[in-house]
Amino acid sequence: MGIQGLARFIDDHGAILTDDQFRNSKLIIDGTYLYHSLYFKSCFDQKHGGDYDDFEDQVCKFFKALRDCGIEPYVIIHGGSDFSDKKFETQLHHVQSRINTANSLSKGLRGSGLLPILIKQVFKQVLSSLKVPFAQCIFEADQEIASLAERWNCPVLSNNSDFYIFDIQAGYLPFSHFKWQNASTQRGSSQRYIPCKRYTTTSFCRYFNINRQLLPVFAAIAGNDYVNLNKMGFPIRWEDKLPMEPNRRPSKFEQITCIPKLLDWLARFQEQQEALDSVPRLIGHGKNNMDSALQALSLSTETYQLQPGCLEKFFIKGKAPDPGHLPDHLSVLPDWTLLPLMKGTLSSSIIHILQLRPVIQGVQVEDHSLPSGNNTSRPIRQVVFGLLLGESRAVKEYDRDGINLTSSMVKAILPSAAQQMQLDMLNQVLYNISVRLEVFLETLGVSQSTLNGVPPHLELPVAVTYYWLRHAHPRPDHPLLQALLLGLVYGELCRQRKSQRGMDQNMNENTHRHTQLRIGARSLDKGVAHAYSQWQRCMRDGLDLNQLLCFPLPEPQIACPAATQLYRGTLVHQLVGKLRGGVTPDSLLMEGPSSGQLYRAMLEAILNSQETEATGQPDGPSADSGRKERFNKALSSCKYRDHYIRTTIHLLEF
């Protein structure tokens, strides 16, 4: 996002950027662009739902490089957005593009730009484990990032070309020129630094001989996420000063070649208003809606004005914004939600829902001839909507229908256990943990006894997996369940190893191990992809519900150095292929008790609950003997035996 063509234009004018040896400084990092860049530039898998462990290792390496150079990072993750939704049409365009990419990948064609659906949650968890300060911004993040950088006199690291416009004294470091993997040591000292290029508005304005006050006008006329004259019917053809066809999207070449002409035109003005008053002569007289175009340009320039923000108070004192000082559109947020939102322990989607704004569902590779995988977890989201809005409301959701982006209204509902709950008091002792747990379990259709014997940190994944088996379509077969549980046990094994050996020592070992695991795992089974896409959607919405209910169950770590790793796409896809090809679970297990016990506990919890539901037999002591008999039959039909359940998954022998 940002100003189309500007980054390439600046790269083509190399004198604007200055070489820098960055070290010993605070650094404000645009976290959303960081996790996008780290995932895509590392060429991680995009077809199988995400390899979060590889991404985790890359994030750890990035922040280690900063630490070695004395750089103090502060990460800002986008959460809220401008209430006017000036970017909404741009967002819809990008979502349709991602749907097209997912469809291409599902057919074995090339494509890029598809993030795993749990990537934001993983990123926040890894930052927490590394003790990197971060905030999930409840306002429009770009202004907050720029304001904090100006306040602390340090640069911004991002890939967003809007930061070429903000007047930040310490400048802007484009991520594309930030060579963190090539950290070097200064001659004659032990001081390490990261080679990069630094941009300042002073350098840009001196190069093109324009007043820096005109940069917001330049961004607005050039076209950004907030306003686009071409789409509004006011395009400019600089070659002959005649407008080109309305609504035609200019080519990248046209965007780049128009920039110097626009800068030449702006050089004749000294103040913003003077330039804005001259816009009608630039785009032609007598056009309809000229006033609306001028108003849009004026409002767009305001988005680049630096205002006092709330991030400094949060980072220094750990405090959320004063509720009395929030803008009107954020007054719908209950006071208790502000700090969890900024800490990232509450999903930023609640901001959109409470404002009754449209919610855009994530895109994954799946079978596009089937309904969207998001449909599977819709009942969970409906409860989230009900807790936030009450049962009488509905939320507009955007999701795919085939390969087209469509919208529908999704009704809010409340389970019986939540009928008397009030959002403003959801975090108070009035609703103790047993009440909130009852709401969560009722939503997922899971009884408390189902989780008996399951380690606390895996209770939520087991509950979600049980829900997935009951709601996924087509219904998952046994190898899909087997592979998923084997992946969970393997994640637990990784957790134990990392806890014992330390993060840094494990990085290279994990990279080597997973490279071997992925041999032969590149082909895609669309049915498997669709099933696990549904599971990840259920996990995502289950995590959101658990957070909103103030964690009645411990939050599992998807990929984190000191916790359980839940999902790695290429691994579980490969496991399904092996199991369907005749490989039995015992060939994937070795001697020892702990991992086998974990596997058996999860399997027994899920199969027992399925059998109980199928027969209608209630939980309780009187049901134990019949349940055990049905469970043993289920084990036999799935080709399971107790002697299959041993300790470690012997995955490296594939």
Report CA-CA distances (Å) from 345 to 133, 189, 326, 463, 545. 14, 42, 20, 20, 11
| Same domain for 381 and 296 | no
How far is Cα 160 from Cα 480, in angstroms, rounded to an integer? 40
Query: Per the structure block, which two tokens stand in for 191?
Result: 């001081």
CA nearest neighbour of 545 among 363, 373, 421, 392: 421
How far is Cα 206 from Cα 481, in angstroms, rounded to an integer? 62
pLDDT of res. 560: 56
pLDDT of res. 185: 92
- 3-class DSSP state for residue 217? helix
Beta-sheet strand order (sheet of 404-411): 359-360, 394-401, 404-411
129-179 pLDDT, tens digit per residue, is 999 999 999 988 999 999 999 999 999 999 999 999 999 999 999 999 999
How far is Cα 232 from Cα 291, in angstroms, rounded to an integer? 12
| Same domain for 500 and 413 | yes
447-478 pLDDT, tens digit per residue, is 988 898 888 989 999 999 999 999 999 999 99
For residue 258, being part of any structural domain is answered with yes
For residue 347, being part of any structural domain is answered with no
In the DSSP assignment, the letter for residue 233 is: T
Give me the sign of the Cα torsion angle 284, 285, 289, 293.
positive
Cα maximum dimension of the chain? 88
For residue 649, being part of any structural domain is answered with no
CA dihedral 621, 624, 625, 628 (to 10 degrees): -170
pLDDT of res. 495: 67
| Same domain for 384 and 274 | no
| Same domain for 378 and 238 | no
pLDDT of res. 85: 63
Kind of pairing between the strands at 26-30 and 156-158 = parallel
For residue 310, being part of any structural domain is answered with no
Query: Per the structure block, which two tokens stand in for 56?
Result: 């985790």
How far is Cα 466 from Cα 606, in angstroms, rounded to an integer? 6
CA nearest neighbour of 168 among 184, 156, 186: 156
| Same domain for 107 and 229 | yes
| Same domain for 385 and 262 | no
Q: DSSP string covering 454-471, please?
A: S-GGGHHHHHHHHHHHHH
* Positions in the chain short of pLDDT 50: 240-254, 256, 502-521, 561-564, 591-592, 615, 617-654
The H helix count followed by the E strand count for the chain is: 24, 11
Looking up residue 179, the CATH number of its domain turns out to be 3.40.50.1010
CA nearest neighbour of 181 among 57, 79, 72: 57
Interior angle at CA 77, CA 71 and CA 78, nearest 5 = 145
Domain that holds residue 28: 6-303
pTM for this model (two decimals): 0.87
| Same domain for 539 and 401 | yes
pLDDT of res. 82: 60
Total count of domains within the chain: 2
pLDDT of res. 264: 92
Query: For the range 346-352, what are the long-range contacts, defined as Cβ-Cβ under 8 Å and sequence gap of 24 or more?
Result: 346/547, 346/548, 347/543, 347/544, 347/547, 347/548, 348/78, 348/79, 348/80, 348/136, 348/138, 349/544, 350/384, 350/388, 350/548, 351/79, 351/80, 351/138, 352/81
Q: Which residue's entry shows tokens 């004005």? A: 305
| Same domain for 605 and 507 | yes
For residue 100, being part of any structural domain is answered with yes
How far is Cα 18 from Cα 4, in angstroms, rounded to an integer? 22
49-104 pLDDT, tens digit per residue, is 988 989 999 999 999 999 999 999 999 999 876 656 667 888 898 999 999 999 99
For residue 318, being part of any structural domain is answered with no
pLDDT of res. 386: 97
Measure the N-to-C terminal CA separation of the chain; round to a whole number of Å.
Answer: 42
How far is Cα 292 from Cα 298, in angstroms, rounded to an integer? 10
CA nearest neighbour of 576 among 643, 653, 647, 486: 486
Residues 157, 28 contacting (CB under 8 angstroms): yes
| Same domain for 369 and 272 | no
For residue 386, being part of any structural domain is answered with yes
How far is Cα 129 from Cα 135, in angstroms, rounded to an integer? 14
| Same domain for 519 and 407 | yes
| Same domain for 388 and 286 | no
| Same domain for 89 and 26 | yes
Residues 29, 73 contacting (CB under 8 angstroms): yes
For residue 33, being part of any structural domain is answered with yes
pLDDT of res. 203: 96
CA 148 to chain CA centroid, Å, is: 23
How far is Cα 398 from Cα 381, in angstroms, rounded to an integer? 13
Tell me which amino acid residue 562 is.
Answer: A
Taking each helix axis from N to C end, the angle separating 526-548 and 478-501, rounded to the nearest 10 degrees, works out to 60
